Amino acid sequence: MTDHTNGKLYLAFVLEKLKIRLREIQRSLEEGQKEIEDMHEYYWQNYTEMDQYGYEDFDNQQALLHQINANQEQLTLLHRFRRMLDSPFFGRVDFAYEDEEEAETFYIGIGNFAERPGQVPLIYDWRSPVSSLFYDYDKGPASYQAPMGEMSGEILSKWQYKIRGGKMVYEFESDVKIDDEILKAELGSNGEVQLKNIVRTIQKEQNAIIRNTRDRILVIQGAAGSGKTSVALHRIAYLLYHDRKNLNSSNVLILSPNGVFSDYISHILPELGEENIQEMSLDLFAYRQLQDTAADCEDRFDQIERELSGMETNSLYLEKQSQEFIDALEYFFLRLEDDLMNFTDVKYKGFEKSKADIIDLFYNKFADLPLLSRMEAVAETFIDEIETLKNADLPEEDRLSLLEKFNRMYETRDFYVLYNRFLAGEGYPPLPEVPLEKRCLRYEDVYPVLYLKYRLQKQQDRRRIKHLVIDEMQDYSILQYRIIQQLFSCRMTILGDRAQTIGDRPCDVMTFLPKIFGREIRRITMDKSYRNTVEIASYANRLAGITAMELFERHGKPVIEETVSNLETALEAIAKELRLGDGEYETAAILLPSESDAESAFHRITAILAAVGFDTEHHLFHLHRDSSSFQKGLEYYGAAEPPVRCGESHLSGLTEPPKLSCL
């Protein structure tokens, strides 16, 4: 009989059970695959003799689908249990229920594991109700919310474990949920190039956010390195676990800053036993939506580079993203109701829809539809009347011809032309009057045109998205949030930090978000930073003028600031100081003011490092707007391309700050 309160003995016991279960799953998969092959073979040998109504064919297809789904479920378990071989559990709670003398022992890991489906778990998923005891309480009275109600009792002991490669690294009993020394060890371990899951070190306040299922829109305002991105992703993993009947990975969308960020977080949900979810940047989405309006669109990088180079100020961009600009657009839409229209009678083979009837339908029956979608509804009404009287469907070419007649009552349906008309009326410089294939929207005009399109034309239904995650919320304008509100009516997790804005001054979106999304917003602030050492964080805070951040007490070397005469001298100094490899940093970064500067510096330091034997082919990278991954080595960024957080802590990113040379 295994002692379930001895961590090392229990580890050996669970590993053996995992291996047995894995062998069983492997056999089941092989048998299932053989069954699928037999079904295919039977079908091709007999399909010509199957009954004329297709019942046998249908039954065979259903049996095949059932077996494929069963195999997929087994494959998911196989992947999860293989991951658990490395570290089956990380925590334990001995909990005595109210009015019971003996405690029950609950081991906690990244997923549930039982010897057989339906049996009592040997390991409990970190998202299960009972696991909240580990995160929310110390020794003493405690409770958790189970499906049948609140379960109360007393925690008699709590243990923490670190297991790697199936071997116990350490185990200790703790009065406190997460011991600071253990947390320091996790934060100070060698750096990685992707975000880490934090299930072993979730703090009480983070756990409350992760398990929040009440609030429709949750806004997490967190200091740099506070773990807000990790917490948001773990919250998604929890929601997927909590509501599997109504929510799956295809129902969740992340609006992320760039492709590199997508790669940076891509492994988190699979590590936590969930499928990866969709990610996209709002700029890429806007470009795709406006391809019928302009051949190309600038992105945020273009606009920032112009500012940094002194070609222009930020004022025009801010002006065209403001509430005042939105109000002017709304007034323009009202004027279009009359200015854009030229109503006429429409005739078709003895049938006629009068101008008066069209006006009545346009301004009354279909008044709730967007302006440029109303005439299609009017046309469909006329077509339905004709088909009813003729008792026959119209030929497709006739339908299209009629629809075109109705749409010609609009003076124009070109959003580029309409936006130009608006700019002229408001006294702004107009866009170039060129054909579609030569049009390129500057960044400050991209979202006003997209807003105009969404307000004037009916959009596709996006109810499939049931949860939206918005990262770096401070970098979205009020206009962009207005567009997001029109696109998505789902639950949201919105996260960011007003002090980390790309712009030249802090942006607190909470000053306008309640006006856009209503009062269903819950705001949570995370002021404690775990990312960097006190020395690095304090230095950065002084530069940014940040005073309200609470720092986790982890110390390191002081920041060295040096001034050099030119870029060449700086690159030579960096080459001499660079220390990458075992026992050193895994990642270093050089920040440059622009993309062109970064490219030039990349070519120059490639030559410098190659001369001293550095493996520039595999460990030297130029990160730019089209990059899709973040790798170990020496990275170059143009400052107009917001770098991935290449120094975040165990709680919100990488475990060790990069060696950063300030130029």
Q: In this predicted model, what pLDDT tens digit does every residue of 241-295 receive, in sequence order?
A: 888 888 888 899 998 877 667 776 766 776 676 777 888 889 988 999 999 999 9
Nearest residue to 470 (alpha-carbon basis) of 484, 487, 489: 484
pTM: 0.80
Q: What percent of the chain has pLDDT over 70?
A: 86
Where are the strands (E) in 71-206, listed by range? 91-97, 104-109, 124-125, 140-146, 149-164, 167-173
> Given this model, what pLDDT does residue 188 score?
54
pLDDT of 506 above 70: no
Most confident of 132-146, 303-317, 584-598, 630-644: 132-146
CB 37 within 8 A of CB 43: no
Compare 638 and 103 and report the one with higher pLDDT.
103
pLDDT of 560 above 90: no
| Span 227-255, pLDDT tens digits | 888 888 889 888 988 888 888 888 999 98
> Given this model, what pLDDT does residue 659 score?
34
pLDDT of 193 above 80: no
Q: What are phi and psi of 411, to 5 degrees?
A: -60, -40
| Span 80-133, pLDDT tens digits | 899 899 999 989 999 999 988 899 999 999 889 999 888 999 999 999 999 999
pLDDT of 548 above 80: no
Compare 269 and 615 and report the one with higher pLDDT.
615
Of 217-221, 287-291, 293-297, 580-584, give the lowest mean pLDDT range.
Answer: 580-584
Q: What is the 3-state secondary structure (H, E, C) of 41-89?
A: HHHHHHHHHCCCCCHHHHHHHHHHHHHHHHHHHHHHHHHHHHHHHHCCC
Q: What percent of the chain has pLDDT over 90?
A: 40
Give the pLDDT mean for 509-525: 88
Nearest residue to 107 (alpha-carbon basis) of 221, 8, 233: 8
- Collapsing DSSP to helix, strand or coil, 5 comes out as coil
> Given this model, what pLDDT does residue 479 score?
96
Compare 267 and 465 and report the one with higher pLDDT.
465
| Helix (H), strand (E) at residue 596 | helix 595-611
Give the pLDDT mean for 427-449: 94
Contacts of 139 (CB under 8 A, 6+ apart): 155, 156, 157, 158, 175
pLDDT of 592 above 80: yes
| Span 161-184, pLDDT tens digits | 889 899 998 888 876 445 555 555
Give the pLDDT mean for 43-71: 71
> Given this model, what pLDDT does residue 320 score?
94
Compare 126 and 68 and report the one with higher pLDDT.
126
pLDDT of 581 above 70: no
> Given this model, what pLDDT does residue 648 score?
31
pLDDT of 143 above 60: yes
Give the pLDDT mean for 392-397: 92
pLDDT of 421 above 70: yes
CB 336 within 8 A of CB 362: no
pLDDT of 146 above 60: yes
Give the pLDDT mean for 466-484: 92
As a dihedral over the C-alpha atoms of residue 67, residue 68, residue 69, residue 70, rounded to 10 degrees, the angle is 50
Using the structure block, give the residue that is written with the tokens 């060295």. Answer: 560
Q: pLDDT tier at 644 (50, 70, 90 boundaries)?
A: very low
DSSP 365: I
Average pLDDT across the chain, whole number: 83
Q: pLDDT tier at 657 (50, 70, 90 boundaries)?
A: very low
Nearest residue to 342 (alpha-carbon basis) of 359, 354, 365: 359
Helix ranges restricted to H, 158-227: 180-187, 204-210
